[in-house]
Each structure stands twice: as structure tokens, then as C-alpha cells.
Amino acid sequence: MSKKVVITGLGSISPLGLSTPQFWQSLLEGRSGIGQLRGLFQQDLKVKVGAQVQDFTPESFFSPTEIPMLDRYAQFAIVAAREAVKDSGLTGEALRRGAAVIGTGCGGKETDERAYHTLYKENKSRLHPLTIPRGMPSAAASQVSMECGITGPVFTVSSACASAAHAVIQSVMLIRSGIVDVAVTGGTDAPFTFGLLKAWEALRVLSPDTCRPFSADRSGLVLGEGAGIVVLESENHARARSAHIYGELSGCGMSSDAAHITDPSAEGAAKAISMALKDAGLNAEEIDYVNAHGTGTEANDITETLAIRAALGEQADAVAVSSTKSMHGHALGAAGAFELIATILAISHAVVPATMNFTSAGEGCDLDYVPNQPRAMKVQAAISNSFAFGGLNAVIAVRGY
């Protein structure tokens, strides 16, 4: 029989704060991390808003000798991992034999940008010798392993906006299989570079002002950044050391649309939701809350609504659905981790975060989206949706413990 997997540690650095308590308090207060972009070549950018991590100075977290080795996205991962591991109370051999699986959609874009600026703007012929180890997509996972002293399986998962959810699911599989008892997992991204923002502009899916998921006047997504990390353990391991357990990570569902690179499929998303419920041994009627992918784009919000209806049936009308991207933006490879943490805390605190900036329901958006005010309610079981470009779907089911 597969081992039960539980959550024992939470860590985050986000546009809503430099720690998980700050993240959660901001969600409860409906405080948005979305604002005017800072520190970029704004005169050359059409996009003017983003959800950036504020008041983050690397020198407060890292030594002068460490900083040259760390892209911004890796810095975020380490900070979040430190908090999650401290929260879990894990130390020594138990942590050393664990796994670290970190998702990222972009990798070290800050490093890439710096290299291209050196070559093409400054016309220099040589780059910094640490350019490759600093910017490679696996750098964050490697740096987390070194920070935590983890010598078990360590690797990166990259599946666009589903990266963090896929990383968590891989960690669940490692624990269920008995390969490890402990995993440090989640996602990280730092996409605010000039080149990447120009590429997102070209897609024409960015909002000019803010993120309004499921609203009739929604105008697109808002990019975010940061990292979310959770510590997972086998139930037996956590109980043996009398760890505080936030909840059970009870089910995982994954699917691929195999249809279109950017246009999502309700059928594919519904399949992942149904698989997560089946894996968790949950009936649709037992789901109280859905943390939606909820990007605020025309296509996603209608498709996700259809998928929730297809998977949950009549329960879809009774379930609370909200998108926390309305506050922390779309952090790409970190998004699923932020949203999983929000889901876990909603269960722990019996409060569902709101979908902020909600005006009136858009056509095809006919669920209970918890508009503009958090809702005190008992949440015994919930799911967190992550649906990525390429039709890559990952859904995680969590229940109270």
C-alpha cells in the first residue's frame, strides 16, 4: 500500500511578502502585490504593471561570496527553502537523505539578460566565468540541495506554469515509492527581465492594469515572481518525530491536452482534476474549495470553469473557487507552489482567500468565485489547479489532518 504523504513545512517569498506569514496575511487582507514595474527600461516597454517581490536585498540573505553564484530565481528558492525547512523542524540525517525537486518555468533569466547585455550592448567579447552554473535551469535545485545538505534525488522540473505542481507530484511519488521519506519541493521564477517582458508583450495576453480572474472585463494576466517551497514527509516519518502536520497531500492528477500550444482544453484539465480525486480517494461531493489556475485571460477562465463543472458535476455549484493570482500575479514556475500553500493554509485556518478585483462574472464564468472578500468556512478537502502552455495539466488534492 502506498505511503501517506503529509505537509510539515511551508516557505515562500512573494510579491505579498518575504515570508509565508506575510503571504497569508496579505491574502486574508486582500492586499495586492501588483503595481507599477520598477527597475526596468520602462520607456521601451508597453507592459507597465507586474507583481514584483518588494524590499528584497540579496545582501540581507547571502554573503558577498555567495551572491555572484546566485541568479535571482535561485536566491528566491533558497530563501523559501530555508523557511520551509525551519518550519518543518527537520535537521541532520533525516534531511540529508531526502530529495529536492524544484520547478521553474524560466530558469536563470537574469543571468541570460546580463550575458546578452554584455555581448550586444557593451560589445564585450568575454562573459563572467560563472554564467553557465549561475543561469542553468537546474541551478536552483542544486543550490537548495547544498543549502539543506540534501544528498538524495535532486532535479528540476520544467513544464511552464505547471512546473511547481509537477515538482510536488514527483516528490509525492518519491515518498510513496519508498525512495525517500522527506522532500523539499516547490517552484521558483524571476521573469522580470527586459527581453522576457518583450516576449510576453508579443503574446498579447498581459493586462494593462491588473488581474481580474473570471470577470467580464478581465484583460489578461499579470506576471509575478518569487518562490514557494513545501516540505513533504511520509506520514510515519512525520509522526515518529512528532512533527506539526498541516495536512495530507492526498492525491495527484496529471494530463496533457495534446491539442494546442497555447489554447487550453477543458477536457484535458477535467481529466487531471478527476485523476487527482481518484488518486486521493475523494468524491466530488467532498471537495469544499478549488484554488483555481485563474489567470485572468479570456481563454483560461472559461476553460477552467468548464473543466471544474465536468469533473465535479453538481458539486461545482456548491464549491468555493478563487484565484489568488488576483493578488500575487502569475509567477509562472512558482505559481503552483504559491497556490498550494494558499490551499493548505485555507484548510488549516478555515478561511478561503478571495478572488480580488472581481467586478461581474464573465460569459461562461458561472461558479462561486469568492469575490473580493475572504470567506470563513470549514475546508476539509480542496484541490489546487495548475494548467500550463503546451496543454500540461497538474492538479493536487489536499485534505485536513
Q: What is the full DSSP assignment across 175-244?
A: HHTTS-SEEEEEEEE----HHHHHHHHHHT-B-SS---TTBTT---B-BB-EEEEEEEEEHHHHHHTT--
Residues belonging to the chain: 401
Helix 335-349 / helix 163-176 crossing angle, nearest 10 deg: 70
Backbone angles phi, psi at 336, to 5 degrees: -60, -30
What residues are labeled active site?
A: 161, 293, 330
Give residue 1's pLDDT: 47
Contacts of 166 (CB under 8 A, 6+ apart): 103, 157, 159, 254, 336, 386, 392, 394
Q: Which CATH number fits domain 5-240: 1.20.140.10, 3.40.50.2300, 3.40.47.10, 3.10.20.30?
A: 3.40.47.10
Domain locations in the chain as residue ranges = 5-240, 251-399
Q: What is the pTM of this model?
A: 0.97
| Short-list 322, 275, 303, CA closest to 391 | 303
What average pLDDT does the structure give for the chain?
A: 97
Give residue 314's pLDDT: 97
Which CATH superfamily, name and number, covers 251-399? Thiolase/Chalcone synthase (3.40.47.10)
Locate cell 484541490: which residue? 383
Give residue 39's pLDDT: 87
CA distance 108 to 132: 9
Give residue 124's pLDDT: 96
Positions in the chain short of pLDDT 70: 1-2, 41-42
Bridge pairing between strands 375-376 and 351-352: antiparallel
In angstroms, the Cα distances linking 90 to 48, 136, 149, 184, 245 are 42, 28, 11, 11, 13
CA distance 236 to 259: 41
The C-alpha angle with vertex 257 and arms to 256 and 261, in degrees rounded to 5, equals 105
CA distance 253 to 150: 27
In angstroms, the Cα distances linking 207 to 34, 83, 219, 296, 387 are 11, 32, 5, 8, 19
Give residue 41's pLDDT: 65
| Short-list 12, 5, 4, 3, CA closest to 345 | 12
Q: Do domains 5-240 and 251-399 have the same CATH topology?
A: yes
CA distance 133 to 154: 16
Burial degree of 324 (CB within 10 A; 0-12, 13-18, 19+): buried
CA distance 369 to 278: 24
Across-strand partners of 224?
A: 51
Give residue 281's pLDDT: 98
